Amino acid sequence: MAEWLNTLIQGLLLGGLYALFATGLSLSFGIMRMVNVAHGDLIVLAGFGAVSAMAPALAGAGAASWLGWLRLLPVIVAMALLTYGLQRFVLNRTLGRDILSPLLVTFGLSIILQNAMLEVFSADVRRLDSGALAVSRWQLGAGISIGFLPLLTALCAVGVIVALQWVFRATTLGRAFRAVSDDPQTAQLMGMNHGRLYAMAMGIAGAVTALAGILLIMRSAVAPTDGPARLLYAFEAVIIGGLGSLWGTLAGGVLLGVAQAIGAALDPGWGVLAGHLMFLAVLMLRPNGLFPKTRDQ
Amino acid sequence: MRSSPDKGGPLLEVCGLDAFYGDFQALYQVDLTIQEGQTVAVIGANGAGKTTLLRTLCGLLAAPAESIRFAGIPVGGEPAYRIVARGLAMVPEGRKLFPSLSVEENLLAGAYNRRPGPWNLDAVYRLFPILLERRRQPATQLSGGQQQMVAIGRALMSNPRLLLCDEISLGLAPIVVREIYQLLPEIRAHGTSFLIVEQDIRQALSAADWVVCLQEGRVSLQGKPTELTHEQIVYAYFGV
Amino acid sequence: MNPMRRKTHTPAASDRATTAASAGFAVVRATPLHKVGAIFGLAVLGLALSLPWWGERAGIRLTTEFLCVVALAQMWNLLAGYCGLASMGQQAFVGIGAYALVVLGLQMGVPVFWVVPLAGLAALVIAIPTALIAFRLRGAYFAIGTWVLAEVYRLVVTNLPQMSGGSGLSIAPLLRDIDPDDRLAWTLWIAVALCMASLLGTYTILRSKWGLAMTAVRDSEVASESLGISVTQVKWAVYLGAAAMTAMVGALIFTTKLRISPDAAFSMDWTALMFFSVVIGGIGTLEGPILGALVFFALREWLSDWGSQYLIILGVLTIAVILWAPGGLWGLIARRWDVQFFPVRRRVETAATGT
């Protein structure tokens, strides 16, 4: 019994990580109706960037100090600027033309990123050593325990979503995001520069993606070619949860995580497959996801 | 075509405007002038080019820079989000309210790039009291007439000098249309000029001090409503 | 089955000729230049077929690979360029082709080259439930959805030890009884056949009512629905056809490889290959994928010393093409000289100019 509870908890917390993966994607889906095929690779890039940034702080024996961890902030900022620039100077040129172009450009980008990382970092897996953080667990008694890092990740996911929901509901920028997502042409009539807004949305998505990448690489070893798998999990989480709803994305991530955890508990090789099968099941039964909010024109 | 008497620089000057959708020409050498404080009505059958004209004016459709001058500045071809800052706002055909936003949020969206002026949330609610009651409701849940009020209010929030109204009577009951048109003088009193595109000719003629008729992309008639005969208008409208 | 449900009235050929002649123009498809092109094409075909007698092994292998890539690219082009179905899961069918070799060949003892057409049949069968699920999604979501499905197939195969043999199976037993030179020749000829089939098949489709239907679908699904063209039928037919061809090519390709592993068979690299060739060459044209495949091979040969850097360059080139030359290299050529190798489009020829 305790084993199954542990599996469930593991799945829930894994879902937190997947929700974090998915939030960035959900933003670009929701606001720009665009699929960023390079999304997973950006997660990996952020992870590798974090490893490089932290290398000097971890060079000595023992764990890094608090100040050392601040080195991660530039990674997040850099990723935000990268995605902002990507949208503003490259992807904005493809929007509105046809559905294929943004997809193809980001696919090309994905291949570029993967191979560039292979060249720079070689095919080895890397991990960000967070010392005690990575292995500490809270023992709740009766054989049930919660990993500290997974819990932190899940809390970050919730925190990010709460913050983003606040931005959407209560700020002028958030209102502009919602308007431009509803109707980009009419939004222009209000004086909203849709290109600039898309770029800002991608910048925010980039920052969230960077956080996801950092938390990922603290928890598991990552190889340069691990991006596409992350993209698929993110995508599945968004679709399961329903387009246009950040809380839906959280739910989708959690469901995916739980499905994978249960699958893996039954047989180690079936974990990821179980997640895919659940995604397909939701697709067949509820094509709009479980909590859809966007009306697709 | 003749322009109305000069009162200082015209607010809007359209000279020889040609507009294209790809290879298809929708407007041929359209000339139009609006003075500050005027209400100009543009009438014409479906497909005559009325909406095309408005879309070109507000920047959604490309045009040569010099063919459209707003307050003396060439604005043809400028992107739509920049034209609003100059003082030109549009109430689009079909209202086009943002479904994800409430009534109040739609109004606030109109203020995204506002100019200084008398219009703010309070002023709009004073003009359309019913909206104050419904301000938290999703905008698209309101009745047609109320949605039209939101659309107009939203355009006013940017404090435009010129308000473009694309078929505000479309799909609304005659009573509602009259109600809305009765409020136009009050808006005008605050310093807004109007360019109204209308299918409802009677309403257009009674509200405007200058009428332009389009037929198949060309200006077929211009003049003061009081000085134009019924036959002239029918001929200009239908071409028969 | 005819995807156009409503009957259209077409004037009799003689009527058309007289009205056209009196109007001073004619609607034609092939220009004299096309005849030259056709002869050129036949010459190339002859050369390719005769290769086993005068070519060296490396050259034959390269040509075989090239023909396979062109066939794969044509199928992806058919899906994405003509039907707007940007599938990122075609690797599923390459994998099915490869594992047809394992199941039909290794386990059931079917002679190796007979597996190829059977792989096509197997793909047809598997493509049906695949399409049922994938067509629930549109546009970019469809693309990723097909990718997920490909992953599902990969994982299923990986987890069936009798199929995957863990890290891969060797197909050497299948080829034991065949003379290596004979095998090389037959592989080449089947590759030629498949490539020709993909080209001529696409060409025939585009010249037919189906082709018109597909262009309509690509340009506007809603409009074509309203004209009575069955969008669904077109999509299904194209998806199933592309699946079958892709699997056949996949099976053929893997007869030349020593091992079949799930990761190699279902690798995203296959889709990347199709994507590069089609986009760089020119999406939505018959000539484009051929040109694109040439570019791909050229770059791979030139930059072979630089490791995977040629992929980075391909990626940058592809993005540049999409942004600045969306018609691809062939698009640039066609626009500059107004040519078309495969006479698919109709042209208006005036009596005066003769062009």
> Is the Cβ–Cβ distance between A226 and A276 less than 8 Å?
no
- What distance in Å separates the CA atoms of residue C204 and residue B43, rounded to the nearest whole number? 50
> Is the Cβ–Cβ distance between B183 and B127 less than 8 Å?
yes
Residue of chain B whose alpha carbon sits nearest to that of A178: B100
Distance from CA of A60 to the nearest CA of C (A): 34
Comparison of pLDDT for C46 and C268, the residue scoring more = C268
Whether C337 has a pLDDT exceeding 90, the answer reads no
Query: Of A81, A14, A41, whose CA–CA distance to A215 is shortest?
Result: A14
- What distance in Å separates the CA atoms of residue C281 and residue C326, rounded to the nearest whole number? 10
What per-residue confidence (pLDDT) applies to B53? 93
Would an 8 Å CB–CB cutoff place A186 in contact with chain B? yes
Residue-wise over C183-213: b if at least 16 C-beta within 10 A, else e?
bbbbbbbbbbbbbbebbebbbebbbeebbbb
- What distance in Å separates the CA atoms of residue A273 and residue B4, rounded to the nearest whole number? 74
Query: Which residue of A28, A103, A283, A296 to mutate against C (max C Cβ within 10 Å)?
Result: A103
Residue of chain A whose alpha carbon sits nearest to that of C310: A115
> Is the Cβ–Cβ distance between C98 and C265 less than 8 Å?
yes
Q: What confidence category does residue C1 fall into, taking pLDDT thresholds of 50, 70 and 90?
A: very low
CB count within 10 Å of CB B233 equals: 19
CB count within 10 Å of CB A16 equals: 23
Of residues C145, C156, C322, nearest to A104 (C-beta)? C322
Of residues A178, A181, A188, nearest to B80 (C-beta)? A188
The four Cα atoms C72, C76, C77, C81 give a dihedral, to 10 degrees, of 180
pLDDT in tens, C190-213: 999 999 999 988 888 777 776 766
Complete DSSP assignment for C182-202:
HHHHHHHHHHHHHHHHHHHHH
What per-residue confidence (pLDDT) applies to C109? 84
* A-B contacts (CB, under 8 Å): 70
Query: Of B178, B221, B222, whose CA–CA distance to B34 is shortest?
Result: B222
pLDDT in tens, A252-287: 999 999 999 999 999 888 899 999 999 999 988 888
Q: Which residues of chain B make contact with A184, given a CB cutoff of 8 A?
A: none
Would an 8 Å CB–CB cutoff place A169 in contact with chain B? no
The four Cα atoms C263, C269, C274, C276 give a dihedral, to 10 degrees, of 180
CB count within 10 Å of CB C310 equals: 19
Residue of chain C whose alpha carbon sits nearest to that of A93: C323
CB count within 10 Å of CB B25 equals: 13
Q: Which residues of chain A make contact with C133, given a CB cutoff of 8 A?
A: 280, 283-284
What are the CA-CA distances from residue A258 to residues B9, B110, C16 (Å)? 69, 44, 67
Q: Which residues of chain C make contact with A116, given a CB cutoff of 8 A?
A: 312
What per-residue confidence (pLDDT) applies to C221? 57
CB count within 10 Å of CB A21 equals: 32
Which helix or strand (DSSP H or E) is residue C351 part of?
Answer: none
Query: Of A242, A273, A244, whose CA–CA distance to A260 is shortest?
Result: A273
Q: What is the pLDDT along chain A (297 residues), one digit of tens a residue?
A: 778 888 999 899 999 999 999 999 999 888 988 889 999 999 999 999 999 988 887 776 556 677 778 889 999 999 999 999 999 999 999 887 777 889 999 999 999 999 999 999 888 898 888 777 777 888 877 778 888 899 999 999 999 999 999 999 999 999 999 999 999 999 999 999 999 999 999 999 999 999 999 999 999 999 999 999 999 999 999 999 988 789 999 999 999 999 999 999 998 888 999 999 999 999 888 888 888 775 443
- What distance in Å separates the CA atoms of residue C86 and residue C274, rounded to the nearest whole number? 11
Residue of chain A whose alpha carbon sits nearest to that of C308: A115
The values of phi and psi at residue C339, to 5°, are: -115, 165
Query: Of C326, C242, C320, whose CA–CA distance to C288 is shortest?
Result: C326
Return the DSSP state at C181. H
Whether C135 has a pLDDT exceeding 80, the answer reads yes
User: Which positions ≥6 away from A220 have C-beta within 8 Å?
Assistant: A127
Distance from CA of C150 to the nearest CA of A (A): 10
- What distance in Å separates the CA atoms of residue B29 and residue B15, rounded to the nearest whole number? 7
Distance from CA of A136 to the nearest CA of C (A): 32
Name residues of chain B where pLDDT drops below 70: 1-8, 240
| Start-to-end Cα distance in chain B | 21
CB count within 10 Å of CB C114 equals: 11
Would an 8 Å CB–CB cutoff place C298 in contact with chain A? no
Residue of chain A whose alpha carbon sits nearest to that of C321: A105
What per-residue confidence (pLDDT) applies to A117? 94
Using a pLDDT cut of 70, give the percent of chain C over it. Answer: 80
Contacting C residues, span 229-248, partner chain A, CB-CB under 8 Å: none
Check CB contact under 8 Å for A104 and C323: no
Query: Of A37, B113, B126, A60, whose CA–CA distance to C144 is shortest?
Result: A37
Check CB contact under 8 Å for A111 and C314: yes
Q: Which residues of chain B make contact with A191, given a CB cutoff of 8 A?
A: 81-82, 84-85, 112-114, 158
- What distance in Å separates the CA atoms of residue B161 and residue B158, rounded to the nearest whole number? 9
- What distance in Å separates the CA atoms of residue A200 and residue A171, rounded to the nearest whole number? 14
- What distance in Å separates the CA atoms of residue A50 and residue A43, rounded to the nearest whole number? 11
Distance from CA of B142 to the nearest CA of A (A): 17
Chains contacting A (3 or more CB pairs within 8 Å): B, C
**Pick among 3.40.640.10, 3.30.300.30, 3.40.30.10, 3.40.50.300: CATH of B12-238:** 3.40.50.300
**Single pTM value for the model:** 0.87
What are the CA-CA distances from residue A39 to residues A74, A83, A109 (Å)? 19, 10, 10
Do the two chains B and C touch, given a threshold of 8 Å on CB pairs and at least 3 pairs? no
What per-residue confidence (pLDDT) applies to C9? 39
Instruction: Find the chain A residues whose C-beta atoms sit closer than 8 A to any C-beta of C.
Output: 34-35, 37, 90, 93-94, 97, 99-105, 107-109, 111-112, 115-116, 118-119, 228, 231-232, 235-236, 239, 267, 269-270, 272-273, 276-277, 279-280, 283-284, 287
Using a pLDDT cut of 90, give the percent of chain C over it. Answer: 38
> Is the Cβ–Cβ distance between A12 and A257 less than 8 Å?
yes
Distance from CA of A158 to the nearest CA of C (A): 25
Query: Which residue of B86, B91, B98, B114 to mutate against A (max A Cβ within 10 Å)?
Result: B98
The vertex-A201 CA angle with A52 and A11, nearest 5°, equals 65
Residue of chain A whose alpha carbon sits nearest to that of B85: A191
pLDDT in tens, C49-94: 888 788 888 888 999 999 999 999 999 999 988 888 889 999 999 9
pLDDT in tens, C114-127: 999 999 999 999 99
Query: Of A218, A154, A192, whose CA–CA distance to A23 is shortest?
Result: A154
Q: What is the ipTM of this complex?
A: 0.91
What per-residue confidence (pLDDT) applies to C27? 65
- What distance in Å separates the CA atoms of residue A236 and residue C67, rounded to the nearest whole number? 36
Q: Which residues of chain A make contact with B156, given a CB cutoff of 8 A?
A: none
Average pLDDT of the residues of chain C: 82
Query: Which residue of A91, A93, A107 to mutate against C (max C Cβ within 10 Å)?
Result: A107
What per-residue confidence (pLDDT) applies to C56? 85
Q: What confidence category does residue C18 fall into, taking pLDDT thresholds of 50, 70 and 90?
A: very low
- What distance in Å separates the CA atoms of residue C315 and residue C336, rounded to the nearest whole number? 25
- What distance in Å separates the CA atoms of residue B165 and residue B199, rounded to the nearest whole number? 12
Sign of CA dihedral C133, C138, C139, C141: negative
The vertex-A181 CA angle with A215 and B129, nearest 5°, equals 125
Complete DSSP assignment for chain A:
-HHHHHHHHHHHHHHHHHHHHHHHHHHHHHHH----TTHHHHHHHHHHHHHHHHHHHHSSSSPPPHHHHTTHHHHHHHHHHHHHHIIIIIGGGTTTT-SHHHHHHHHHHHHHHHHHHHHHH-S--B----THHHH-EEEEETTEEEEHHHHHHHHHHHHHHHHHHHHHHHSHHHHHHHHHHH-HHHHHHTT--HHHHHHHHHHHHHHHHHHHHHHHHHHS-B-GGGHHHHHHHHHHHHHHH-TT-HHHHHHHHHHHHHHHHHHHHH-GGGHHHHHHHHHHHHHHH-TT-SS------
Lowest mean pLDDT across B96-105, C160-169, C297-306: C160-169
What per-residue confidence (pLDDT) applies to C353? 44
- Return the domain boundaries, chain C: 31-266, 267-340
Whether C230 has a pLDDT exceeding 80, the answer reads no
What per-residue confidence (pLDDT) applies to C20? 44
- What distance in Å separates the CA atoms of residue C134 and residue C132, rounded to the nearest whole number? 6
Query: Of A164, A184, A25, whose CA–CA distance to A176 is shortest?
Result: A184
Whether C341 has a pLDDT exceeding 80, the answer reads no
Check CB contact under 8 Å for A94 and C323: yes
